[in-house]
Every structure is written in C-alpha cells, then in structure tokens.
Structure 1
C-alpha cells in the first residue's frame, strides 16, 4: 500500500509533529508499505530518509516562525503522479483543497488531528468571542470532508464528540523507548532540585508559569533550578521574567539524544500547557524516568500512571509548585520507576499497528478502485 502523508508546519525545528510523522512513517516502511511524506519548504526537493521518501514542495510563507504551507496549485499535480492508496493529512489547513481532490480521485482521506481548535485559539481571540461556536462550525466542515479522523486522546476527541462526529478513532502516540530512557548511572540526590521544561515558547503553551513557579518553590525552602529547552516568540520576555532566577535557556535542541539526556538528568519535568492534545514531551520525560507535573486541562494528565509518575494540578504557578513539593516527598527510586513503567505502555509499534488496522478497513474499496 502506498501511504502518502501530508504535513504543514514541518521544519527542522519542529517538535512533536515532526517526531510523530517520521516515527509513524518509519513504522509503515518497516511493515512493508511504501511511505511518501509531502511537506512545504523554501525549495523543491526529493530525498530518501530512514523514514521513507520525503518530497518538499516550495510553499507559501506562513506567519513569522519560518513556516511554509502547501498550496493546491503545486501539490495536486504531485499527488496525481504519486497515485496514493491512502492520504494521511496532519493538518486542518489543507482540507479545503485536498478533500475535493481525494474525492474525485477515489482516495481515502484520513485527518490526523494534532491540535484542538478551541484550545489553540483560546489565547488568540478577544473576550466574548464565540469560540465554541466557531470551533464547532469549523469541525463540522472538516468532518464532512474526510473518511476518518484520528485523534490521540479523549481531550482531542471531545471537540468532535461535541458535534456528533461518529467516524473518529482514538489512537495514542508513542515514544522511542531506546532513545528516551533513564540514566545508566542514577543522578545523585545532592545539589538543587533540577526542574526542566521542554516546550515551544508560545502563548498557548504558557511557559511563563514554569518560571513563575520557581520563586514560589525557593521561598518554600526548595532549592530548585530550571532548564528551558525550546525556542519561540516569547523567548525574550521569558528571559526578562527569569532575571535573577536560576533559569538556563538551552534554546532549540535538534539532537534527540541530547534532549533525552537533559530529561533524564532532571528530577521533575514541568509541562504547563493546557492545550496539549497528547503531550509527547510529557511522554518523553516519563520514558527517561522523570516524573511530570501537568495541568488538569488538556490531555497530558491522561498519560499519568502509578503514584509517583506525576501529578495533575490546576496549572497555575502555585499549583505547579505545590505538585513539585508533593512529588519530592516520595523516594527518587519510586518516582523514576513509576515514570518509566508508565511510558512503557506507549511504544510507537502500537501506534503504527492501530493505524494500519484502520487502513485495512479501506482495502476492499482500494481493490475495487
């Protein structure tokens, strides 16, 4: 089967989206299928990667973060030549032109929903804006255009359940349990408590809450320091907020092994974003044996496992600080063991198997076509 994946906002600095698309693509390839990834960029390119073939289509610039987007004019002729058996699209932006093409070509179209519209827009619209109404309207249009919608959590599924969509499949993501693993030699308990935040530094992620929790901990007799891994439009403002605090900004780190090492060396990972539809950074921290503190809003709390693996709180700086206090009361061995055990429930092989099982439902139609 030739599975063609499309993804906007896929760049060398992308976080969870790039990881997800490539890991699933690698699984398709290992299962004997042909995988082709189509992404936008500065210039056209066609290359073979460990995850299969990747075609870059010169696209329009989008926003100020260096993103580009696929256009119908340049992408539809490529799809005509590729003749996919299944189209898997990882963004909602392309649906307007992609869905009519897929319908005419008789190609099943699957939307892999990586974001929840109302959660993403909540920090970007003025008070009083009819957010739920607008999100429901957009999702109704999306739901009628695709053969299947894949979500990764109950939180992500809720926006489609709200409009009565019945062609939604919940398939959790996974984690590379070999790259993200506990340190071979456990860190010593001496020195300050090492906190870490791995996140894009943007409004909907609320990274400032992790920094604001730090003085609360220090005033509460917890000698804590924070490492921030990631970059984004809030970087300069966060630097000012962190003045005179033990905060180190590592910037964007492209080396996955370096990210894993930083996570494994931390005592607790803070993940304050209430808009996560899964929480890949949360799962990577757990795989490294590092417990997490997450908000009750969003999907990240759905990843928590046995006591010690992490805590959910109200997401405020005070809530984050209180949860850190509670976790530190448990032995480090208990916390780290519970965290790793929790992550082991989510191998990427499980995600790939469930996606291919979903595509098997399309096989009679594919044979007929």
Structure 2
C-alpha cells in the first residue's frame, strides 16, 4: 500500500511518538510511507528510515494547508491517509473533500477524551470540536486510543461501530534494568513519581497534596517530577509550603531508567486521559502506578493489583489509599500484557485495519 500519515510534528508529545512509530512499522512491512507534518518541521532527524517526509509549515492557515495536502495526494496517489490529532484530522478532511476522483480511504485517530475538556475552553477550541463532531463520522475508519475514547466517539461523535477500532498506543519497548519480583523496600519510604506536562489537565498539585497526606500518615515521602509546563512554579511553591521534598528532573526521554522500581510509585492524577502512556511505561518497568478512575482512559493502561491501582476518585484521600496499595505490589507485569503495547504488535494491528479499510488493490 501507499500510505500518507498526517500529523503535527515528529516530537513534542505522545501522539507525535505514536505517529512516527506507526510510520516506521508500516515502512518495515514494505509499504510506501509518506509522513506529512502540518506544524513546525523540527526534529526532522526523527523521521523513520524508509519514510519520505513532507512539510506544510510554510503554508499559512489550515485552508491553505488543506489545498497543499490535496496537491500532494494527487501527486502521490496513496491508497490510504492516516491522520492524528484534531487539527491534522481537519486538514486531511479538507484535502480529501477537494479530490473529485481517486480519493484514498481515510483513517482518523482520536487521542483524548474531548468532551471532558470543553468546560472553560476557548471559543476556538469549541468550534474545532464542533467541526470534528460533524466530520469524524464520515471517515472510513476511526482509531480510538482506548475503550472510553471509543465510547465517546460513538455517543458524542456519531461514529458507527463498524468504522471504529480500539488501537492502543505503541509504547517504548525499553525496560527498566531493575524489574524484579523481589520485595519492595521499607514501606516507610516512598518515592512518588510524577511524569507529565505540568498543565491543569494533569492536576500536578494533587501529587503534592497526596505526598503531604502520606507524610502525615508516617510514610516518608518525596516527590520526583519528570516534566515541565506552565504550572512548574506553582508546583515548586506548593511543595515548599507543604514541606514535601521535590526533585525537579525536567523532561527525560528514558525516565524509567532513573527511577528505583522497588521504592517508587508513579502517580498520574489527571482530570482526563485518553490512555496515559506513562502508566504503561512504568508498569512495564516494574514501577507500580496509580491514577484516578475518573480519568476514564487510564483503565486501559492499568491492571489493578498487578501493575498498579485505580483510585476511587481524584480526591487526595483516595489517591493516598491507592498509592499505599500499589506500593505493596511485588510481582513483575505479565509479558503478554507488555506485548500488547509493543511497536511490532501495534504496527501489525494497524496494518491489518488499513488493509481491510482499503480492500483489494489492483
């Protein structure tokens, strides 16, 4: 197959990693793959081998980018277009609408729980969401990152189940060298790990309050943060006021290699998550994880009692109870569960879905 993958960039978030992993896997399987970037063409060195790169950054405005993508599709004549994230999805819809003949099949990928993020959002974001709600149901295939995201696509976006598939994210295949079945360290010592962008959706200040309440219960707790964002200074100030030791690591690509698995629990206190890649990365590395059940998508990324615990809610007391329970987990994660998120397995599943969508090729 000839496949065009449309995404914002090659780096900067989970969707970017997923897109370039999909491109790499499809190219390894012998398909002709073109990667189209709608945002700034940074980190072009991350373009996978065998993938032809294109950029639309020099075109101003999404309508102009759609016309430029239309021209590229006329030139390449792909069998399938795969787009990730709402803006790239809309640009792809615009380009395909302008093709009068030889229109390729279109698969869109939704990465988040959209409706939970509408409260207090900008008019521009609401308009973008309204447009995606009109268009997603017209796609030939819609790829959901998790089962809660799939349910939202059916209930709120009108996507028919016959055109819907749940395709979990490929997660880094790296493993923590210290993964083990051995006992946890002294349960009076705990390294609470926060790995995320420091934005309101992730609710990072809840990690500070959780650490404070653990300390009041006699658990010697420190907080280690891998990440950055607009709430960085608030996080630092909150930790200082609460008397919580905070180690700010910044962005670290292979963050699991810097975490002592037998002392740590990863806490992702998000308001909502499409999946939560770091939950899988930590679980596969032997670091138990905690996230509130109310974040919804995290349920696809945690095996309760095995890789971590789902807190009853995002209330600090519920997070504390879940952290304490997770800290007692001693078993290594099942190999079959880890393989479910491997690049090779996810790539094979994507290929199968696209071949079914495209049908026989002359």
Q: TM-score, normalised by structure 2?
A: 0.84
**Quick check: 1:168 aligned with 2:161?**
no
**Quick check: 1:83 aligned with 2:77?**
yes
- Asked if structure 1 preserves the Cα contact closer than 8 Å seen for 2:86 and 2:132, the reply is no
- Give distance in 2, aligned partners of 1:188 and 1:275: 30
Superimposed CA distance per residue, residues 289-319 of structure 1 (whole angstroms, 9 cap, x where no aligned partner): 1111011122112222252421111022222
1:150 Cα deviation (Å)? 0.5
- Give distance in 2, aligned partners of 1:285 and 1:168: 28
Q: Residue 150 of structure 1: which of 131, 143, 149 is its match?
A: 143
Correspondence list, 1:100-249, <5 A = 100-103=94-97, 104=99, 105-122=102-119, 124=121, 137-163=130-156, 164-166=158-160, 167-177=163-173, 179-183=174-178, 189=185, 192-243=189-240, 244-249=243-248
1:35 Cα deviation (Å)? 1.9
RMSD of the TM alignment (CA)?
3.2
Determine the structure 2 residue equivalent to 1:65. Answer: none
- Give distance in 2, aligned partners of 1:353 and 1:11: 21
1:193 Cα deviation (Å)? 1.0
1:182 Cα deviation (Å)? 4.4
- Asked if structure 2 preserves the Cα contact closer than 8 Å seen for 1:41 and 1:69, the reply is no
1:234 Cα deviation (Å)? 1.3
**Quick check: 1:346 aligned with 2:341?**
yes
1:165 Cα deviation (Å)? 2.0
Q: Which runs of 5+ in 1 are unaligned?
A: 63-67
Q: Which runs of 5+ in 2 are unaligned?
A: none
Q: Which moved more, 1:182-191 or 1:30-39?
A: 182-191
1:46 Cα deviation (Å)? 7.1
1:101 Cα deviation (Å)? 2.6
How many residues align structurally?
346
Superimposed CA distance per residue, residues 261-295 of structure 1 (whole angstroms, 9 cap, x where no aligned partner): 13454521001113211111110010111111011
Superimposed CA distance per residue, residues 167-192 of structure 1 (whole angstroms, 9 cap, x where no aligned partner): 21111223233x13342687972583
Determine the structure 1 residue equivalent to 2:32. Answer: 34
- Asked if structure 2 preserves the Cα contact closer than 8 Å seen for 1:39 and 1:55, the reply is yes
- Give distance in 2, aligned partners of 1:42 and 1:296: 35
Per the alignment, in what secondary structure is the counterpart of residue 87 of structure 2?
A: coil
Q: Residue 262 of structure 1: which of 258, 261, 265 is its match?
A: 258
Q: Residue 303 of structure 1: which of 286, 301, 304 is its match?
A: 301
Judging changes above 3 Å, is the alpha-carbon distance between structure 1 residues 51 and 154 closer, same or farther for their aligned structure 2 residues? Answer: farther
Determine the structure 2 residue equivalent to 1:2. Answer: 2
1:327 Cα deviation (Å)? 2.5
Judging changes above 3 Å, is the alpha-carbon distance between structure 1 residues 251 and 46 closer, same or farther for their aligned structure 2 residues? Answer: closer
- Give distance in 2, aligned partners of 1:338 and 1:180: 11
- Give distance in 1, aligned partners of 2:18 and 2:200: 22
